[in-house]
Amino acid sequence: MSDPLTAVKTVETRLFSLQDLTYRDFVRSLLPTVDPDTVIGIRTPALRALAKEISGTPEAAGFLSVLPHRYYEENNLHAFLIEQMRDYDEVTAALDRFLPFVDNWATCDSMHPKVLKKHLPEMLVQIRSWIASEQTYTVRYAVGLLMNDYLDAAFSPEYPAMVAAVRSGEYYVNMMRAWYFATALAKQYDAVLPYLAENRLDLWTHNKAIQKAVESYRITDEQKAMLRGMRRKKAE
């Protein structure tokens, strides 16, 4: 590992060399929870290429050891360096350390380490821990994993129950919960329909899930008509 502070300065220099000011202004408009002054403005393919280039180097190790980061793109680079890891235990340890510092939906949703898909049963231990967290984006990440990796062959009825049990006043948690149920309706319609038919979700997530579902091309017209009839009013 190189000196951590030196590694951070070196990485920051590399990041600013990739800056796109027009893109920076666009990204700032998408991230209301992020201080605009911390957005450099770097396109994702360039960040992923940098992560691939420095992965496994002493420079990367030094950079990863320093948290929290100053810049939004440093967080994204951190996420993409985790994606480059190939050992399951190394990845889960890195995620455990990093997730409490994630402060926006884009960084949260961008982390897809391929090794996790090879360890779905083991991952459930981590998911149960993360979904019970008090950290907004740790919970969002857990729900996202259940949506992306556990709605097909690995599906079990206990998973939508885990998502339904989350109670949060955080917009970015509940939006992911709604997204989960909308996707689940497309993939496991009969299994998850009772969560809407029996009003098992809070009102906002219930209605948002229906909105997203009826916008989906994977939901049939008949199903969409049924779901529209399940929308709830605030007075309930």
Q: Domains of the chain, with CATH numbers?
A: 1-106 (no CATH), 112-236 (1.25.10.90)
3-class DSSP assignment, residue 173? helix
- Which residue type is seen at 16? F
Residue 1's pLDDT is 67
Which own/partner pairs from 42-49 qualify as long-range (CB within 8 Å, at least 24 positions apart)? 42/15, 42/18, 42/73, 42/76, 43/18, 44/76, 44/110, 46/18, 47/18, 47/73, 47/76, 47/77, 47/80, 48/80
Tell me which residue of 64, 71, 11 sits closest to 41, measured CA to CA: 71
- CA–CA dist 128, 235 (Å, integer): 33
Candidate from 1-10, 34-43, 191-200 with smallest mean pLDDT? 1-10
Taking 80 as the threshold, does the pLDDT of residue 118 lie above it? Answer: yes
* Lookup: tokens for 147: 């949506």
Residue 235's pLDDT is 53
Taking 70 as the threshold, does the pLDDT of residue 45 lie above it? Answer: yes
Task: Give residue-wise pLDDT tens across range 136-155.
Answer: 999 999 999 999 999 999 99
Taking 60 as the threshold, does the pLDDT of residue 227 lie above it? Answer: yes
CB proximity list for 217: less than 8 A, separation 6 or greater: none
Task: Give residue-wise pLDDT tens across range 195-216.
Answer: 999 999 999 999 999 999 999 9
Taking 80 as the threshold, does the pLDDT of residue 13 lie above it? Answer: yes
- Which residue type is seen at 124? L
* Lookup: tokens for 236: 């309930």
